[in-house]
Structure 1
Amino acid sequence: MFNWNDLVYFLELARRGRLMPAARRLKVDHTTVSRRIFELEKSLSVKLFDRKPDGFLLTEKGHQLLAIAERIEQDTLAIQESVSAAPSAPTGRVRVATMEGIGAFYLAGRFAQLAVDEPGLMVELVTERHLINLTKREADVSVSFVPLAGQRLSVRKIGAFRLALYAAQSYLDRHGTPGGRAELADHAFVDYVEDLVFISPVHWLNDVLEPTNVVFRSTSLHGQQCAVAAGAGIALLPLFSAKTRSDLIPLLHDDVIVMRDIYLSTHEDLEYTGRVRAVTRKITNMFRDDHRYLTEFDAPIGSGSSGAGI
């Protein structure tokens, strides 16, 4: 007999592609996921997955069921939004995916106010070097430096931030302060690990030069910034991170201007649910209100937006 509850296990396995990740998300044993999928296939008399060495792939019938199951999931999520006695108070978990640097140095602290304003919400901030797949429900919301591509995604630009060259006084005492772009070739740099940059706009130092003397590399923006503060060399850092350290000195700020756009993405099925709408509204407002902080050296956080391009 068909069991509606089996669709929950089907959706997770379809999105994760493997038993263990699906089981962790559902907080059950992987054998439970396998058993429920077997029961679902038996009740429908169809094969929903091809079992491969590297995971589970949807069959044609599986893809058909996925479209139906996602509509059921969306309708289920909408029940509390529409029927609840207090629909104006959003509740639940919202997973926000972004890159490590902007997540740690900017978003995490700004989400603290959301916990005060909306105590029923709980944000999970997921940071990765690659772009999270919203279509597979790896997250509910994405904040990225590039517009996401995928089926039924709502994507819009919500702001921008500036990057600048920074160094520590100890480095400048040893090597001198560059007086122009032409002198940068004589200096040491801190940069990303080239073959581990999965989002090309993140390798922003290439907008300025291709350094011949890189003395330290890290996949972590925080790691790079710590190395610069210790005097290792010069790095191109976002203002939102560099402003957290008073010992970092901006260099050539009139000559080197590098900007990156910020995009907010959600799946159309979740875009207008109360919990996701509350979080996306908060994110949109914070980038609008902090536009000057994100793009100007002396502007404090919450100093307002110039309104350009936002």
Structure 2
Amino acid sequence: MLGRATLPAVTSSSAMPSPKLLAMRVNRGSGCGRRMDGSSSLNRMDAWAAPTVASSAHADHAILHGMADWDAVRFFLELARAKTLARAARRLRVDYTTVGRRVSAFERELGAKLFERTPDGFVLTDAGESIRAAAEQMEQSAVDVEQRALGADRRLSGTVRVAAAESAGHAVVLPAMRELHQRHPEIRLYLMTGLARLDIARREADLALRFAPPESGDLRIRRLTPMGFALYASEDYLARHRPPAPGAGFAGHDAVLFEEGFRGAPAFASLVHSLRDARAAVRANSMLSLVEAVANGLGVGALTCCLGDADPRLRRVFPDLPVQRVDLWLVVHADVQRTGRIRALIAALEARCRKAAAVLRG
């Protein structure tokens, strides 16, 4: 597993340090080094001159802060402490390949190898050890900033804008908000549902519940729960149209489908694909509308189990087959994830997913 995300090799761990790494160890009193605004008083020739090495990590911290973002340093520190990509990934709540990529990018930025891979895991090289103290000072500074920001936003009040698929809004967000409202009535919910994907990175919503994690942006994601999907029809429809054998297709049947062009998650798309031979009797851009169309006997539809199983008018077309499951992801912008009302709602969403796990899984 680790071999897929190995860190880049250099010719020798004892090779001459890069100008960037060397500059990090220059005493600020010498007049050399990188300023906090990112500019540099070193020209290309001076970078290789013999520097006066500071006796503390204070200068290292100032220069490291000027050339590396906190996220890169955070990944570096977590791998140094965890020793393996997998353990670091669990602590950071990301995929292990993300840890490998971020640390590799940090090494390229510094122009130095920070880790050696050993049978016992990843260990710091001399270059890595030389910046560890400065990195830990950055970590403490980040904690201080976070605590001050939280202190300014501890009141559990205000509006939280949530973008969610309709089924997730119905089965997860609203029940979670009911519990949260009882404890913190000053928190208000603005729920936006539908097929359109609002851009969390551009702050069109504070957080989102999605069936696919985003691939870019300054976002924090976590897996909430698997949600089940299956084919449903009304009891009346099944009395009039005998279900086919699994895999035989739905020729001669009617189907209730999302609007053309919508695919959804792969597991959901595979259910829809099984209806390709059916007549499209109804198309809609709303999951709740699909539920009503199926319940009114207009055809077979792919629905979330939390909605389909809860409606006494509906039956699973293939009750003996396992359901298709899709992970539901929580996405929040990094700038707001620690505000009091956001944290309170996230905790309520996670509690709802634990409590209703069986219903949501189908």
Q: TM-score interval w.r.t. the shorter chain?
A: 0.5 to 0.7
Which one of the candidate residues 123, 132, 147 is aligned to 2:189?
Answer: 123
Partner of 1:247: 313
Which one of the candidate residues 132, 138, 149 is aligned to 2:204?
Answer: 138
Distance 1:219 1:100, change over 3 A: same
Partner of 1:151: 217
Partner of 2:248: 182
Q: Is the 8 A contact 1:96 1:141 kept in 2?
A: yes
Q: Is the 8 A contact 2:294 2:300 kept in 1?
A: yes
Distance 1:209 1:83, change over 3 A: closer
Partner of 1:82: 151
Partner of 2:104: none
Partner Cα separation in structure 2 for residue 160 and residue 211 of structure 1: 29
Structure 1 residue matching 2:292: 3-state secondary structure: helix
Partner of 1:227: 293
Partner Cα separation in structure 2 for residue 106 and residue 264 of structure 1: 11
Partner Cα separation in structure 1 for residue 247 and residue 322 of structure 2: 8
Partner of 1:285: 351
- Deviation of residue 83 (structure 1)? 4.7
**Percent sequence identity over aligned pairs:** 27
Partner of 2:237: 171
Aligned-partner residue type, residue 260 of structure 2:
E
- Deviation of residue 198 (structure 1)? 7.1
Distance 1:256 1:186, change over 3 A: farther
1:210 and 2:276 are equivalent in the alignment = yes
Q: Is the 8 A contact 1:131 1:199 kept in 2?
A: no
Partner of 1:15: none
Q: Is the 8 A contact 2:150 2:338 kept in 1?
A: no
- Deviation of residue 203 (structure 1)? 4.3
- Deviation of residue 167 (structure 1)? 0.8
Partner Cα separation in structure 2 for residue 81 and residue 291 of structure 1: 31
Partner of 1:108: 174
Q: Is the 8 A contact 2:220 2:333 kept in 1?
A: yes
Over the aligned positions, Cα root-mean-square deviation in angstroms equals 2.6
Q: List structure 1 runs of 4+ shifted beyond 4 angstroms.
A: 75-80, 198-204
Distance 1:199 1:78, change over 3 A: farther
Partner Cα separation in structure 2 for residue 135 and residue 96 of structure 1: 13
Partner of 2:339: 273
Distance 1:139 1:77, change over 3 A: farther
Partner Cα separation in structure 1 for residue 309 and residue 271 of structure 2: 18
Aligned-partner residue type, residue 169 of structure 1:
E
Aligned-partner residue type, residue 309 of structure 2:
K
Q: Is the 8 A contact 1:207 1:258 kept in 2?
A: no
| Runs of at least 5 residues in structure 1 that lack an aligned partner in the other structure | 1-74, 297-310
Structure 2 residue matching 1:236: 3-state secondary structure: strand
Larger Rg: 2
- Deviation of residue 118 (structure 1)? 1.6
Aligned-partner residue type, residue 278 of structure 1:
A
Structure 2 residue matching 1:139: 3-state secondary structure: coil
Aligned-partner residue type, residue 259 of structure 2:
V
Distance 1:97 1:261, change over 3 A: same
1:27-64 per-residue CA deviation (whole Å, 9 max, x = no partner) reads xxxxxxxxxxxxxxxxxxxxxxxxxxxxxxxxxxxxxx
- Deviation of residue 182 (structure 1)? 1.3
| Runs of at least 5 residues in structure 2 that lack an aligned partner in the other structure | 1-143
Partner Cα separation in structure 2 for residue 106 and residue 186 of structure 1: 36
Q: Is the 8 A contact 2:258 2:283 kept in 1?
A: yes
Determine which structure has greater relative contact order: mean sequence separation of CA pairs < 8 Å that are 6+ residues apart, divided by chain length: 1
Aligned-partner residue type, residue 255 of structure 1:
L
1:151-180 per-residue CA deviation (whole Å, 9 max, x = no partner) reads 210012111111111111211121123343
Number of residue pairs the alignment of both structures matches: 218
Task: Provide TM-score, normalisation by structure 2.
Answer: 0.55
Distance 1:230 1:219, change over 3 A: same
- Deviation of residue 294 (structure 1)? 1.0
Partner Cα separation in structure 2 for residue 268 and residue 128 of structure 1: 24
Partner Cα separation in structure 1 for residue 219 and residue 213 of structure 2: 10
- Deviation of residue 125 (structure 1)? 0.8
